[in-house]
């Protein structure tokens, strides 16, 4: 909103205003723009200092009814109103506000700012441990990554102090006794809004009660808060859609998250593209793509990302008697089956499917892509099995396509890769653990135990082969992609790490969606502690850079890992070594698709037809409702992938021959 030079009301204007049913004790405190049109104001009470911009335009909202810029039946107190706003039917007060240009506001209760506030910025919420100890100061600039560090790096008090200080500085920078309603916002049929900063282009429709919060929004990432929403001490980030009786208390709703249908969030974060409907979350760290859709589901005191909660999912954080102290982690890509239960503390490895009720505390983080089952009351693990399922393949394909964020300056840095150095290093470690467990087990032993969970002895070797297969596929994927896209003209340059890459033997971490070599993050955190990262925007820029180094750091890791996995012993890789990598890739990729197809075909055969053909004609009913496997789009997708394996293999082999 541009700075206006306001003028006092002319006597003629005051006469018109009075005639239109307006009232003020001190007309001299009402200042207006140069081309002010008093005929566009009626039934309005002015209190305190009021500034009004031009009123010479109109809106045509979606209902098709033209609204002329003007102020009708409103009560104003210490308000600056930008150019061409339409404000009508304000039953309570608009008080201590800066209303930017082109705001359309109709049928509202009160929108007020009461005293100085930072609008939810800097509010500390108790994540993971309900009892405290991991408080996160939420701000409009909080990303999944900064939240991860603040919440989980409690081993480093200096870092936490620095991050808190950055959050406090941001909160202070927005602190004011005037709340802003951003340019182009639309506010219809809302009740009470107290101490809320409303970003540009926000749409509020039917909101019940908002208190102490910020709604980030921009013209190209408009945020919607709708019917019956009650929120207190909150941050809603750009593009989010919060509606239908959602209850938000001490929580952050991330970019383009969708929240509604009476969903309840308390002391929680739900970062970008998360979805919460019907259910309840309490003290959760909902990383990107945390999805819970069912009324009977409670997520509590856990960390999730790329997660899908089945109906009736539940966890308990009251293991002992000292209160709700226990926390859990389901690493990225997890899923819970209907009515699953986990007793915290537990930690579930990446891309795992959890079924049944688990009353043991276990840690399966060394085993990604696992089935976590319940057998006769015991928690059992099938390592690697979930890599070969339709679900995991489909998830990996769908997440990037479902990133709703199209605006620049996205807060959360996301890496969608299912196979990465993060899961790769775990699978390699998993192979060693499984084979060691096999070697140590007696042949008559049905199960072995590892970190609180049982694994069938019989499956130890099988599952280690699953990991080997997935690892060979992953390494081959990257070599293949590099060969096809790389401009290297000789073997030596192809096999060289990129300039500035992290060491190939670095440990990799998942910073709530951002995958990186740990030393790179450590370096950034040292700079944060040294005060070299001066504000949250700067930190955001640095995290973005860190995210941008993924490809070169991954290649460095691949180059270091290839000899170990494939048993190459020479000091340098040869073209023949790479041929072996490509051939193993071709075989493992084909096997993956074969096994996924076997998993998919189950949807079309056997007893899945039960319930079809209620009075006969089961086959026809099934075909007409579900179709047949051969014409299924996923099956066709698999066929295309198969052809691509062969063509890529041929292409890469040809390139290899020229190196």
Partner 1 sequence: MSTLDRIKKVAVELLKIQASRVQETSRFVEDLGADSMQSIELVASFEEEFDIEMDEDAALGVKTVGDAVKFIDQVIAEG
The site for partner 1 (CB under 8 A) is made up of 371, 373, 382, 385, 456, 458-459, 461-462, 465-466, 469, 590-591, 594-595, 598-599, 602, 606
Secondary structure letter of residue 310 according to DSSP: P
Q: Three-state SS for 447?
A: strand
d(CA 324, CA 335): 23
d(CA 485, CA 496): 15
Provide the token pair at 140: 């409009």
Nearest-approach distance from CB 396 to partner 1, in angstroms: 19
End-to-end CA separation in angstroms for the chain: 60
Of 343, 360, 271, 357, nearest to 307 by C-alpha is 271
| Closer to partner 1 by Cβ: residue 134 or 358 | 358
| Closer to partner 1 by Cβ: residue 322 or 643 | 643
| Closer to partner 1 by Cβ: residue 408 or 443 | 443
Residue ranges of E strands in 127-216? 135-138, 179-181, 186-198, 203-205, 209-215
| Closer to partner 1 by Cβ: residue 65 or 643 | 643
Provide the token pair at 341: 């239960």
| Closer to partner 1 by Cβ: residue 544 or 591 | 591
Nearest-approach distance from CB 587 to partner 1, in angstroms: 9
Nearest-approach distance from CB 604 to partner 1, in angstroms: 13
Nearest-approach distance from CB 643 to partner 1, in angstroms: 18
For residues 411 and 395, the answer to whether their CB atoms sit within 8 Å is: no
- Dihedral (CA of 19, 22, 23, 26) sign: negative
Nearest-approach distance from CB 639 to partner 1, in angstroms: 16
| Closer to partner 1 by Cβ: residue 129 or 364 | 364
Nearest-approach distance from CB 385 to partner 1, in angstroms: 7
430-465 exposure pattern, b = at least 16 Cβ within 10 A, e = fewer: bbebbeebbeebeeeeebbebebbbbbbebbeebbe
| Closer to partner 1 by Cβ: residue 300 or 385 | 385
Q: Which residues pair with 51 in a beta bridge?
A: 31, 80
d(CA 159, CA 140): 20
| Closer to partner 1 by Cβ: residue 459 or 509 | 459
| Closer to partner 1 by Cβ: residue 233 or 589 | 589
609-631 exposure pattern, b = at least 16 Cβ within 10 A, e = fewer: beebeeeeeeeebbeeeeeeeee
Nearest-approach distance from CB 325 to partner 1, in angstroms: 35
DSSP codes joined into one string, 437-487: HHHHS-TT-SEEEETTEEEETTHHHHHHHHHHHHHHHHHHHHHHHHHHH--
Nearest-approach distance from CB 469 to partner 1, in angstroms: 7
Q: Three-state SS for 459?
A: helix
Nearest-approach distance from CB 434 to partner 1, in angstroms: 12
Nearest-approach distance from CB 447 to partner 1, in angstroms: 12
Provide the token pair at 284: 């959760």
| Closer to partner 1 by Cβ: residue 25 or 461 | 461
State the virtual CA torsion across 478, 484, 489, 493 in degrees, nearest 10.
Answer: -10
d(CA 153, CA 162): 12
Angle of CA points 322, 267, 179, to nearest 5°: 145
Beta-carbon contacts of 429 under 8 Å, excluding residues fewer than 6 positions away, are: 366
| Closer to partner 1 by Cβ: residue 537 or 594 | 594
d(CA 458, CA 437): 11
Nearest-approach distance from CB 373 to partner 1, in angstroms: 7
**Please, how many CA atoms are within 13 Å of residue 431, restricted to the half-sphere of its CB?**
15
């Amino acid at each position: 909103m541009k700075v206006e030079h306001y003028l006092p009301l002319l006597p003629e204007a005051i006469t018109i205003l009075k005639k239109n049913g307006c009232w003020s004790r001190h007309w001299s405190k009402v200042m207006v723009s140069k081309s002010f049109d008093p005929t566009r104001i009626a039934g309005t009470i002015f209190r305190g200092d009021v500034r009004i911009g031009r009123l010479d335009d109109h809106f045509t909202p979606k209902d098709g009814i033209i609204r002329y810029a003007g102020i009708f039946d409103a009560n104003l107190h210490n308000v600056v109103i930008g150019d061409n706003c339409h404000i009508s039917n304000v039953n309570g007060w608009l008080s201590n506000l800066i209303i930017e240009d082109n705001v359309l506001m109709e049928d509202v209760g009160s929108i007020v700012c009461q005293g100085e506030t930072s609008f939810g910025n800097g509010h500390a919420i108790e994540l993971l441990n309900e009892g405290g100890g991991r408080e996160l100061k939420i701000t409009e600039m909080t990303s999944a990554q900064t939240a991860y560090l603040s919440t989980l790096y409690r081993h480093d008090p200096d870092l936490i102090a620095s991050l808190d200080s950055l959050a406090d500085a941001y909160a202070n920078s927005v602190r004011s006794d005037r709340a802003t309603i951003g340019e182009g916002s639309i506010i219809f049929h809302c009740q009470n809004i107290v101490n809320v900063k409303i970003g540009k282009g926000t749409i509020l429709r039917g909101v019940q009660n908002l208190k102490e919060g910020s709604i980030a929004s921009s013209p190209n990432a408009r945020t919607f808060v709708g019917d019956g929403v009650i929120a207190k001490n909150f941050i809603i980030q750009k593009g989010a859609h919060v509606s239908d009786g959602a209850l938000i208390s001490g929580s952050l709703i991330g970019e383009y998250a969708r929240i509604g249908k009476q969903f309840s969030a308390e002391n929680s974060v739900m970062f970008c593209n998360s979805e919460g409907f019907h259910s309840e979350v309490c003290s959760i760290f909902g990383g990107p793509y945390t999805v819970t859709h069912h009324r009977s589901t409670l997520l509590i005191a856990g960390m999730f990302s790329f997660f899908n909660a089945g109906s009736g999912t539940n966890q308990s954080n009251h293991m002992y008697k000292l209160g709700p102290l226990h926390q859990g982690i389901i690493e990225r890509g997890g899923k819970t089956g209907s009515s699953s239960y986990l007793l915290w503390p537990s930690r579930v490895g990446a891309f795992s499917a959890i079924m049944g009720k688990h009353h043991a505390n276990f840690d399966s983080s060394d085993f990604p892509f696992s089935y976590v089952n319940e057998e006769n009351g015991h928690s059992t693990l099938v390592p690697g099995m979930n890599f070969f399922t339709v679900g995991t393949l489909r998830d990996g394909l769908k997440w990037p396509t479902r990133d709703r964020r199209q605006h620049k300056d996205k807060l959360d840095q996301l890496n969608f890769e299912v196979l990465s150095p993060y899961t790769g290093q775990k699978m390699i470690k998993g192979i060693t653990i499984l084979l060691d467990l096999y070697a140590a087990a007696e042949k008559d032993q049905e199960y072995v135990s590892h970190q609180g969970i049982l694994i069938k002895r019989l499956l130890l070797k099988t599952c280690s082969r699953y990991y080997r297969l997935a690892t060979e596929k992953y390494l081959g994927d990257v070599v293949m992609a590099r060969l096809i896209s790389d401009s290297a003209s000789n073997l030596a340059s192809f096999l060289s790490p990129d300039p500035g890459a992290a060491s190939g033997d670095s440990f990799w971490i998942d910073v709530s969606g951002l995958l990186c070599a740990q030393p790179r993050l450590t370096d950034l955190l040292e700079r944060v502690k040294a005060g070299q990262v001066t504000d949250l925007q700067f930190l955001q820029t640095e995290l973005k850079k860190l995210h941008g180094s993924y490809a070169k750091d991954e290649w460095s890791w691949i180059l270091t890992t290839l000899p170990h996995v494939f048993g190459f012993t020479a000091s340098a890789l040869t073209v023949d070594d790479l041929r072996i990598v490509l051939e193993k890739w071709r075989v493992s990729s084909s096997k993956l698709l074969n096994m996924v197809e076997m998993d998919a075909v189950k949807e079309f055969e056997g007893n899945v037809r039960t319930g079809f053909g209620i009075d006969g004609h089961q086959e026809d009913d099934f075909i007409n409702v579900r179709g047949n496997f051969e014409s299924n789009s996923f099956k066709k997708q698999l066929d295309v992938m198969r052809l691509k394996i062969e063509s890529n293999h041929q292409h890469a082999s040809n390139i290899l021959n020229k190196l």
